[in-house]
């Protein structure tokens, strides 16, 4: 995709709030050059995983630099629902944050407060790198950054309607692996809880539609991403760097040994 044909990353938060379709990619490795190459492919956003990814704060910062060079919008899944973790991600230049393990409306409200400057929140002013691209006036920064809460536990699902209605929250984001386990699965994607899992997705979609916010979900590959988009999800991530690296290496090894 040519740069002139791509949406402006500065428009990312508005598009999320408008429930426009945004398709992204997931980064877990501290490899800025590879991240930049992915960001050049045409994904609307590239998300850096600061919770389970193999990188620290410097890795998040370098990832944001790489994503900006590639022309996508940078998103960070923060390590925790914590003002410091959220502030670090935003100061590094994230245009959106994904907050894990949100179980109640009060926890969702806390994540929003951590991401917003006074009078709407408690974010400390020190936009270091982000001020070059986002804001830097507090009201502008608040408008130009999106906040999504993860629904990945039984408690989060039980409270999903109240969470979705949280003022200032821009979307929900389903973590399928944890949600599957939270619903009683022995492992991510356990077919024994498939019916319950499908019902949970339907409930999350309904909650986001009622609240007028984005419906986000992680997917293992493009085929599932396409299915989710057709079902009405508007914020969809496709797999991750480490998964694709492993899959490609396995496929090439199999071909080389004549097992294809």
On the question of pLDDT at 6 being above 90, the answer is no
The pLDDT score that the predictor gives to residue 83 is 98
Is the full-model pTM beyond 0.75?
Answer: yes
pLDDT in the model for residue 260: 57
Neighbours of 145 (CB within 10 A): 25
- The percent of residues above 70 in pLDDT, for the chain, comes to 98
> Which residues are tagged catalytic?
52
Residue among 52, 173, 167, 170 at smallest CA distance from 102: 173
Over range 36-40, report the average pLDDT. Answer: 97
Cα angle at 14 between 223 and 65, to 5 degrees? 75
**pLDDT tens digits for range 161-200:** 999 999 999 999 999 999 999 999 999 999 999 999 999 9
Summarize the confidence of residues 108-127 as an average pLDDT.
97
Element housing 146 (H / E): strand 146-151
Which residues, other chains included, contact 222 with Cβ-Cβ below 8 Å and sequence gap of 6+? 238, 239
Instruction: Please give the sequence-ordered ranges of beta strands (E in DSSP) within 28-145, or none if there are none.
Output: 45-49, 73-77, 96-99
Calculate ∠ Cα 247-249-252, nearest 5°.
105
Give the whole-angstrom CA distance, residue 239 versus residue 118.
Answer: 36
pLDDT tens digits, residue range 192-230?
Answer: 999 999 999 999 999 999 999 999 999 999 999 999 999
Three-state secondary structure call for residue 84? helix
133-166 pLDDT, tens per residue?
A: 999 999 999 999 999 999 999 999 999 999 999 9
The mean pLDDT value of the chain amounts to 96
CA–CA separation, 148 and 100 (whole Å): 9
d(CA 78, CA 147): 11
């Amino acid at each position: 995709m040519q740069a002139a044909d791509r949406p402006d990353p500065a428009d990312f938060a508005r598009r999320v709030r408008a429930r426009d379709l945004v398709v992204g990619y997931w980064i877990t490795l501290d490899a800025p050059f590879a991240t930049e190459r992915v960001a050049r492919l045409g994904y609307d956003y590239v998300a850096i995983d600061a919770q389970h990814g193999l990188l620290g704060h410097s890795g998040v910062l370098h990832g944001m630099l790489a994503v900006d060079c590639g022309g996508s919008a940078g998103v960070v899944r923060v390590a925790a629902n914590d003002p410091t973790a959220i502030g670090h991600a935003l100061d590094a230049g994230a245009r959106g944050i994904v907050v894990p393990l949100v179980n109640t409306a009060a926890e969702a409200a806390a994540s929003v407060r951590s991401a917003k400057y006074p009078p709407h929140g408690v974010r400390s002013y020190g936009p270091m790198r982000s001020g070059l691209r986002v804001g830097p006036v507090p009201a502008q920064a608040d408008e130009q950054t999106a906040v999504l809460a993860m629904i990945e536990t039984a408690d989060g699902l039980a409270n999903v309607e109240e969470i979705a209605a949280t003022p200032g929250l821009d979307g929900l984001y389903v973590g399928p692996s944890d949600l599957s386990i939270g619903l009683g699965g022995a492992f991510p994607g356990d077919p024994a809880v498939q019916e319950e899992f499908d019902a949970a997705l339907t409930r999350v979609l309904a909650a986001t539609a009622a609240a007028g916010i984005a419906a986000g979900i992680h997917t293992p590959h493009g085929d599932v991403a396409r299915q989710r988009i057709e079902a009405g999800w508007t914020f969809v991530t496709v797999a991750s760097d480490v998964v694709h690296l492993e899959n490609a290496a396995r496929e090439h090894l199999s071909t080389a040994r004549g097992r294809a």
